[in-house]
A and B are shown apart, each in its own frame.
Chain A
Amino acid sequence: MATVLYFASLRERLGVGRETIDLPPGSHTVASVVAHLRARGGPWESCFGPGSVWRVAVNHAMANPEATVSADDEVAFFPPVTGG
C-alpha cells in the first residue's frame, strides 16, 4: 500500500488530499501510478492526462515519471511550486 498525497490546486480539483492505493505485486513507477489514477476518469483524467502539468515527489524527494515506487513509499503530486 503506497500513500499518495495531493497538494494545492490538484487537491482541490481531485477532492482528495491523501489516500492509500494497493499496488499489485511487481515493480511500479510513477508513470504506472499515474496511469492507474487516470483510469478513474473525470477529474483524474484531466489532472493527469495529456498536456497536464504536475510535479511528483517520492519519499520527500523530487522525482520523475521513471522513478520506482514501492509499497510503503509516499508519493506526492502537486502543481509547480510558487513559494517565496
Chain B
Amino acid sequence: MAHVRIQAHPFDAGAEIAALTQGRRDVGAVATFVGVVRDRNEGASVGRMTLEHYPGMTEKALLEICGQAAQRWDLIDLRVVHRVGPMEPGEPIVLVAVSSAHRGDAFAACEFVMDFLKTRAPFWKREDTPSGPRWVDARVSDDEAAARWAPPNR
C-alpha cells in the first residue's frame, strides 16, 4: 500500500497529502513530516546540499520501513518522497505522510518512518561550505532515536 518515490525536483507537500484523502471517507488523521535544507550545520554556513542514493536499494529499504510501520500501527496509507541531487537551503528534502483512522497511529508511524529512514535508508548528504564541500557525518543521536522503537518484547 505504501507509495515510495525518489526524485530530483521539489515536491508539493499539499498534493501528496491530498492524494492520501482523495476519494476516501475513512481517513481520520494525516500526520506529515517535511525535512528542509538548513543554511547552517555543525557551525558552518551551508550554501547547497547534494543528496546521493543507491538506486534500487534505497527504494527497497524505504518500502521495508513502510511495511514495518504498517505492521506495527493501524494505518490506511503511507507516502515517502525523498529528493536526490543538488538542493538549496529552504527547499524540501523529504516528506513522510501517514494516514489512519485516528491521530495516535499516524503520529507514531510518521516519527518511526523518519527515524528509520535516517538510519537505514541509503542516502548520503554532501554540503557546500565556505571551506569547501564536505560529507555529512552520521549522528549518534539518530541511532538513539531509532533505538527507541525497539520491539517491546525484546
A binding-site residues for B, Cβ under 8 Å? 5, 7-9, 12, 57, 60-62, 76, 78-84
Question: Do A83 and B57 contact each other (CB < 8 Å), given the known contacts A7-B124, A8-B124, A78-B124?
Answer: no
Number of A-B contacts (CB under 8 A): 71
A62 to B, closest residue via Cβ:
B120
Of the candidates A5, A8, A80, the one having the most CB atoms from chain B within 10 angstroms of its own CB is: A8
Question: Do A84 and B118 contact each other (CB < 8 Å), given the known contacts A8-B135, A9-B135, A76-B54?
Answer: yes
Given contacts A8-B126, A60-B57, A83-B94, 11 further A-B contacts (CB under 8 A): A8-B124, A9-B135, A62-B61, A62-B120, A76-B54, A79-B124, A80-B138, A81-B120, A81-B121, A83-B51, A83-B123
B binding-site residues for A, Cβ under 8 Å? 35, 51-54, 56-57, 60-61, 82, 93-94, 114, 117-126, 135-138
Selected from A5, A7, A60, A82, the residue in CB contact (under 8 A) with B136 is A82
Hey, which chain A residues are within 8 Å of B121, CB to CB? 81, 83-84
Q: Is the CB of A83 within 8 A of B54?
A: no
Hey, which chain B residues are within 8 Å of A7, CB to CB? 52, 54, 122, 124
